[in-house]
């Protein structure tokens, strides 16, 4: 047998094991092949070869004993329907342990915890505990009370050891025409992967773990401690890249602080703005509404988007760190996967993506109060003021519709250019009023 064959076989074996060893092995074989005098190969070469080869064999022996850590796949837990109110705000039905009735909770990524309505606490005979902690809302700063160690049921999911702060949500109930029992935020989202599907009006809840995201969307990695913060680009007078709260609980498109608007000069000084009011935790706030020429979020651009501007006295928008917040009248145009654990949000455009924005303007604020729909706001120089509306007018009918459905009435007031007829009760008598809906464009 040719004496070279064993060495050639060894070379092929080494090449299969590890290509990095090929250079030194080749030198070793070549020197043996050329060694016509049967002299030993230099010891330095041999030592180098075996110093590389022996650790490799040890590694090959040890590798099978090692196991690669793979994240567990997320597991489906439950699915529940939700109702959409003005501005795309999503409301789900939940239940507190020990109480049979379901409760209406707003899904709110702009909430750093979880909360109960003070009226709901009275109804359920739940006694909140005072604390020294403060909470900031659109209506101001106040001390907050707590209900500790509660269990909440969302569909088939049981969430234990929840500490609810207690707030007065009468203003939200009157805005939506349905009683709002609470707001669910970080205390829930941080424990699960949550998919919000605005096409089917379904919320799906999964365990934390690896997840396959659908095609056709975009992934963002928000800054996330308790409230998610994401970047977007505004363009009106000039383009500006800014950070915003990602707020599914805000029933508007975009909210900017007046300090940001002033310091950035994002709008021309002659920009047309209209007086309005917005509602949130703690009460109402005077605002102005206008449009911004372009809002770029991820790869998507929205043009002439309605934008609210307000004097943020209590700095709830965290200026100058943030410019404001992105509300759910934008976010509802995507089906959303919220993965707080991995700090990943995945947004896929849905059937609402090209829904027209609401550019209507009346200056008229309608609220559900004590079983009646009442006028709560009449803005100065607005179509409502010119039509003769007064605070506390009770709406009996709009365009002969006497359903007393607040959501239906608000939809009717979005018909730009249409002359709307009202019948209101005032001081015991009936008054007929008419108003033409304006546009903010």
* pLDDT of 294 above 70: yes
What per-residue confidence (pLDDT) applies to 303?
97
Average pLDDT, the chain: 87
Dihedral of CA 214/220/225/231: which sign?
negative
pLDDT mean over 177-201: 97
Pairing, β 157-167 against β 114-117: parallel
Supply the pLDDT for residue 313. 84
Q: Where are the beta strands (DSSP E) in 144-187?
A: 145-154, 157-167, 182-184
Residue 424 reports pLDDT greater than 60: yes
State the Cα–Cα distance between residues 435 and 237, nearest whole angstrom: 33
Q: Which domains does the chain have, with CATH numbers?
A: 4-65 (no CATH), 76-206 (2.40.70.10), 218-349 (2.40.70.10), 360-439 (2.30.42.10)
Instruction: Report yes or no: 31 and 49 within 8 Å, Cβ to Cβ.
Output: no
Mean pLDDT of 263-284: 86
Residue-level pLDDT at 69: 57
Whether the pLDDT of residue 381 is over 90: the answer is yes
Average the pLDDT over 325-335 and give the result.
97
Whether residue 35 is predicted with pLDDT greater than 80 in this model: the reply is no
335 to each of 73, 176, 297, how far by Cα in Å?
21, 23, 15
Task: Dump pLDDT digits (tens) for 234-248.
Answer: 999 899 999 999 999
The contacts of residue 404 (CB under 8 Å, 6+ apart) are: 372, 373
Residue 111 makes CB contacts below 8 A (sequence gap 6+) with 183, 184, 185, 186, 227, 249
Please give the pLDDT value at position 315.
86
User: For 30-44, 66-80, 332-346, which range has the lowest pLDDT when averaged over its residues?
Assistant: 30-44
Residue 431: which pLDDT band, with cuts at 50, 70 and 90?
Answer: very high
Q: Is 311 helix (H, G, I), strand (E, B) or coil?
A: coil
Residue 363: per-residue pLDDT = 95
pLDDT higher than 60, residue 64: no
Q: Is the pTM of this model over 0.95?
A: no
- Span of 42-51, 286-295, 391-400 with lowest mean pLDDT: 42-51
Q: Which band of pLDDT confidence, cut at 50, 70 and 90, is reported for residue 281?
A: low
**DSSP code of 260?**
H
Identify the CA nearest to 414 among candidates 385, 438, 384.
438
pLDDT value for 13: 47
Predicted local confidence at residue 258, as pLDDT: 94
Q: How far apart are CA 98 and CA 118, in angstroms?
A: 18
* 19 band by pLDDT with thresholds 50, 70 and 90: very low
Q: What percent of the chain is modeled with pLDDT above 90? A: 74
Percent of the chain with pLDDT strictly greater than 70: 83
Q: Which helix (H) or strand (E) holds 341?
A: none
Quick one: pLDDT at residue 316?
A: 85
Structure tokens at 223: 């800054």
The mean per-residue pLDDT over the stretch 119-148 comes to 90
Q: Which secondary-structure segment (H or E) carries 331?
A: helix 328-331
Confidence of residue 33 (pLDDT cuts 50, 70, 90): very low
Q: Do residues 106 and 89 lie in contact, with contact meaning Cβ atoms separated by under 8 Å?
A: yes
Write out pLDDT tens, residues 153-175: 999 999 999 999 999 999 999 99
Q: Is the pLDDT of residue 249 over 70?
A: yes
Model confidence over 213-231: pLDDT tens digits? 999 999 999 999 989 999 9
Query: For 22-36, 98-112, 410-424, which range has the lowest pLDDT when averaged over its residues?
Result: 22-36
Res. 99: pLDDT tops 80: yes
pLDDT value at position 252? 95
The pLDDT tens digits for 252-269 are 999 999 999 999 999 998
């Amino acid at each position: 047998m040719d004496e070279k064959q064993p060495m050639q076989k060894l070379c092929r074996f080494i090449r299969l094991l590890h290509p990095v060893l090929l250079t030194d092995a080749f030198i070793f074989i070549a020197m043996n092949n050329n060694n016509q005098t049967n002299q030993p190969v230099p010891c330095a070469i041999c030592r180098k070869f075996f110093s590389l080869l022996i650790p490799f064999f040890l590694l090959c022996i040890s590798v099978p004993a090692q196991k690669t850590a793979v994240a567990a796949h997320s597991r489906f837990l439950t699915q529940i329907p939700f109702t959409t109110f003005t501005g795309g705000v999503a409301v789900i039905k939940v239940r507190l342990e020990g109480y049979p009735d379901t409760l209406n909770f707003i899904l709110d990524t702009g909430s750093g915890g979880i909360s109960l309505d003070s009226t709901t606490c009275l109804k359920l005979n739940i006694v909140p505990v005072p604390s020294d902690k403060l909470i900031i809302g659109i209506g101001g700063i106040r001390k907050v009370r707590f209900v500790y160690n509660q269990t909440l049921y969302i569909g088939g999911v049981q969430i234990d050891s929840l500490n609810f702060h207690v707030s007065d949500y009468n203003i939200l109930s009157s805005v939506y025409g349905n009683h709002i029992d609470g707001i669910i935020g970080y205390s829930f989202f941080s424990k699960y992967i949550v998919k919000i599907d605005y096409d089917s009006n379904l919320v799906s809840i999964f365990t934390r773990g690896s997840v396959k995201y659908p095609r056709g969307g975009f992934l963002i990695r928000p800054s996330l401690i308790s409230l998610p913060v994401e970047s977007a680009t505004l363009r009106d007078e000039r383009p500006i890249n800014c950070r915003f709260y990602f707020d599914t609980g805000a029933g508007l498109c975009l909210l900017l602080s007046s300090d940001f608007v002033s310091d950035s000069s994002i709008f021309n000084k002659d920009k047309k703005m209209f007086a309005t009011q917005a509602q949130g935790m703690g009460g109402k706030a005077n605002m102005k509404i206008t449009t911004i020429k372009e809002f770029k979020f991820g790869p998507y651009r929205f043009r002439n988007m309605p934008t609210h501007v307000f004097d943020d006295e209590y700095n709830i928008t965290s200026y100058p760190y943030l410019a404001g917040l992105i509300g759910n009248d934008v976010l509802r145009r995507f089906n959303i996967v919220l993965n707080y654990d991995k700090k990943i949000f995945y947004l896929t455009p849905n059937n609402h993506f090209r829904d027209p924005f609401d550019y209507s303007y009346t200056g008229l604020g309608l609220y559900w109060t004590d079983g009646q729909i009442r006028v709560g706001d009449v803005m100065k120089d607005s179509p409502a003021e010119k039509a003769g509306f007064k605070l506390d007018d009770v709406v009996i009918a709009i365009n002969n519709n006497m359903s007393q459905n607040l959501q239906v009435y608000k939809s009717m007031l979005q018909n730009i250019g249409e002359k709307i007829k009202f019948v209101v009760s005032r001081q015991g008598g009936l008054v007929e009023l008419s108003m033409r809906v304006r546009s903010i464009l």
